[in-house]
Amino acid sequence: MPIIAVVTPLFPLPDEPYRGQPIYQTVRAFQRYADVRVFCPIAEYPSWPAFARPHPPARYDLNYSPPDVPATYFSYSALPLVTRPWNGEICARALAPYLEKLRPDLVLNFWVYPEGYAGVKVAQFLRIPSIVSARGSDLRRIEDPLTRRRISYALRKASYVLTVSDDLRRRAIELGATPERTAAILNGCDPYTFRFRGREAARSRLEIAEDEQILLYVGRLAGPKGLLDLFEAFSALIEGRPKLRLVSVGTGPLERALESFIDGHRLRDRILLTGDRAPQEIAEWMAAADLFCLPSHSEGCPNVLIEAGSCGCPAVATDVGGIPELLTRDSGILVPARDASSLAAGLRNGLSRTWDRAAISRLRVRTWDHVARETHAICEEVLQRAARPNRVPAEMGKGRGGNFCGV
């Protein structure tokens, strides 16, 4: 079996067990094809008041490894905004000793910058092939010209580029990826957790009355997710709908603003913020809800839409990124982004329609095994094409990465 080093900043942490689930589930399934070692770099910011982030990353344990997957967590120093254009180089220096010691056959990066860039750079130094997988905002929200140049470099120098949607694939090509070495592999889901089930039984377990109408959001509570648009749309819908409720599952930096909106509009009895929930309970909410809503301003391949569809829940979502690739006229409604009025109209339309929930659950049968198999096929292609005689000699790069010097 080939040894594959997976480099990603998105992986479970002790106090964030559901962080990076699409990557974690892909890697779990991928282990049947390769000897996989995960390396998770985490930007470490100083605690000085001038540089403190409003929501610092969760603390991590260097000895922690999530269930079923060997993972190594390490930090690299960074300053918010200040060092972003150079974070790829800084991360590469921190990553190099681990990859030099492991000597993998391939470096598979999930996230383009800075961690994917770092993985590509170290792979070049070790003369081994690399793949970089774009997830969404890593290509859609590029904050400065130098960072854009680093991202373009990673896309051009990687042996292959993967994306989670055709829309994102087109974006990667615009930024420098070679079309014939770029492919879209959509996300999957756990079919045992997210599956069609009786709506009445789910409502009974969640103590939801049969005559209530439930709108459901699941995801990070953050500005780019369009939650304030959703809350405004919901407040416009409730007149004449005494049984309409909105349930929001997740946590994030927008939570305080959402709480203020709820109190300011006197919606405490109509909007429920549940916080994070386990996948099994999320599946119950998807089975019980009348509509799933994803009002994002930007998306790659939102896993929650695949999960909602597998549960048979119709969706109203914004027409951005890879979302149109996941919905059909029979499974959902697309609306413009950043437009609370259009979102309200879409939700009103969705609530008035009769949906075939069993048919929705059969529209897209895609598991993490499918994702792993398709990823493995690309890895095999890259490994077969790699010039093995050009591998760096084993004696090079011993120690803590002293021979790695970046660009």
- Are the C-beta atoms of residues 320 and 303 closer than 8 Å to each other? no
3's enclosing H/E stretch is strand 3-7
* Digitized pLDDT (tens) for each residue of the chain, 407 residues in all: 899 999 999 999 888 888 899 999 999 999 999 999 999 999 887 765 544 443 334 455 667 889 999 999 998 988 877 788 899 999 999 999 999 999 999 999 999 999 999 999 999 999 999 999 999 888 888 878 989 999 999 999 999 999 999 999 999 999 999 999 999 999 999 999 999 998 999 999 999 999 999 999 999 999 999 999 999 999 999 999 999 999 999 999 999 999 999 999 999 999 999 999 999 999 999 999 999 999 999 998 999 999 999 999 999 999 999 999 999 999 999 999 999 999 999 999 999 999 999 999 999 888 999 999 999 999 999 999 986 555 444 433 343 345 665 54
- The CATH number that domain 3-188+368-390 falls under is 3.40.50.2000
Query: For residues 368 and 194, what is the distance between their CA atoms, to the nearest angstrom?
Result: 12
Q: How far is CA 108 from CA 104, 133, 172, in A?
A: 10, 8, 17
34: Cβ contacts below 8 Å, ≥ 6 apart: 1, 2, 3, 4, 376, 379
- Are the C-beta atoms of residues 231 and 261 closer than 8 Å to each other? yes
Could you give the angle at the alpha carbon of 148 between the alpha carbons of 142 and 152, nearest 5°?
125
Query: Shortest CA distance to 106 belongs to which of 88, 89, 70, 131?
Result: 131
Question: Per CATH, which fold does 199-363 belong to?
Answer: Rossmann fold (3.40.50)
Could you give the angle at the alpha carbon of 73 between the alpha carbons of 68 and 74, nearest 5°?
170
| Domain map (residue ranges) of the chain | 3-188+368-390, 199-363
Query: Shortest CA distance to 186 belongs to which of 367, 15, 330, 46?
Result: 367
Query: Shortest CA distance to 115 belongs to which of 5, 251, 3, 2?
Result: 5
Look at the block and give the residue holding tokens 């006229």. 329
Phi, psi of 208 (to 5 degrees): -110, 125
89: Cβ contacts below 8 Å, ≥ 6 apart: 118, 121, 406, 407
Query: For residues 285 and 370, what is the distance between their CA atoms, to the nearest angstrom?
Result: 25
- Are the C-beta atoms of residues 341 and 236 closer than 8 Å to each other? yes
pTM, full prediction? 0.87
Query: Shortest CA distance to 21 belongs to which of 226, 184, 250?
Result: 250
Query: For residues 394 and 101, what is the distance between their CA atoms, to the nearest angstrom?
Result: 9
SS3 content of the chain, % helix, strand, coil (to 5): 40, 20, 40
Q: What is the chain's Cα-based Rg? A: 22
